[in-house]
């Protein structure tokens, strides 16, 4: 059984849209793309390289995030993130028929939840989800996430796509790891609490 691990950058008000640059996702008139980059420092990058991508993992991506990554990381030579991403198998949720050109890329179509349940039940390394907001909403509702690794930036935007969108069922999370960077980014890891243990949340 594989674990599905969410890895994403979020603001204090929960926005995860376009942290790296304005071209990543300007949908719905979002003009704050790139909000994370001024606060990325050596401590955060050491965490990414030394821990997040240090072991074996595969990737589970929505098509938009895949296209952004595929247009950038294969061209970055010996950069450690590029090497790790190029090595990983990329499972891409998409109904588009265009060829997936990035090496080791496989398409997931049809009933997404059923297909990912089967993938999760197979042998192999953990599945990391980077970005992929629409896919995340589907997997959160289907209760398929094993761990959230959130890099919480001391920024408030007031608009944009949030990690937990309206309508998500109440659910408790356990904080299993936390640290901070010199620029105030919190590197947190959470695991969902079993629903039977957090039924009281339904009364709030």
Residue 204 has a pLDDT of 47
HSE (side-chain half, CA atoms, 13 Å) at 53 = 18
Residue 196 has a pLDDT of 47
Residue with tokens 């891409």: 92
Residue ranges covered by each domain of the chain: 64-163
Q: How many CB atoms lie within 10 A of CB 122?
A: 10
Q: What are phi and psi of 92, to 5 degrees?
A: -115, 120
Residue 97 has a pLDDT of 80
Strand order from edge to edge, sheet including 90-93: 105-108, 90-93, 57-62, 126-130, 4-11, 147-153, 186-192, 173-180
Residue 166 has a pLDDT of 86
Residue 69 has a pLDDT of 96
Residues 17, 9: Cα–Cα separation, whole Å: 9
Say if residues 155 and 32 touch (Cβ distance below 8 Å): no
- Per-10-residue mean pLDDT of the chain, 204 residues long, equals 97 96 93 96 95 96 95 95 97 90 94 96 97 95 96 97 90 95 98 67 52
Residue with tokens 């989800």: 129
Residue 89 has a pLDDT of 98
Q: Which residues of 59-86 are buried (b: 16+ CB within 10 A; e: fewer)?
A: bbbbbbbbbbbbeebeeeeeeebbebbe
């Amino acid at each position: 059984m594989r674990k599905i691990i969410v890895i994403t950058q979020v603001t204090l008000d929960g926005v995860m849209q376009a942290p790296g640059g304005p071209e990543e996702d300007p949908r719905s008139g979002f003009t704050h793309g790139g909000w994370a980059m001024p606060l990325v420092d050596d401590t955060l990058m050491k965490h990414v390289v030394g821990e997040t991508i240090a072991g074996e993992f595969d990737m589970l991506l929505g098509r938009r995030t895949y296209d952004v990554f595929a247009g950038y990381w294969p061209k970055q030579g010996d950069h450690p993130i590029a090497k790790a991403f190029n090595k990983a198998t990329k499972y891409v949720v998409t109904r588009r028929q265009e060829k997936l050109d990035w090496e080791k890329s496989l398409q997931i179509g049809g009933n997404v939840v059923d297909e990912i349940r089967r993938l999760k039940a197979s042998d192999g390394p953990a599945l990391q989800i980077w970005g992929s907001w629409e896919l995340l909403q589907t997997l959160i509702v289907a209760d398929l996430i094993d761990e959230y690794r959130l890099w919480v930036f001391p920024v408030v935007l007031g608009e944009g796509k949030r990690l937990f969108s309206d309508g998500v069922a109440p659910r408790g999370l356990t904080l299993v790891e936390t640290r901070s960077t010199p620029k105030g980014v919190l590197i947190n890891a959470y695991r969902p609490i079993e629903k039977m243990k957090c039924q009281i949340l339904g009364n709030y």
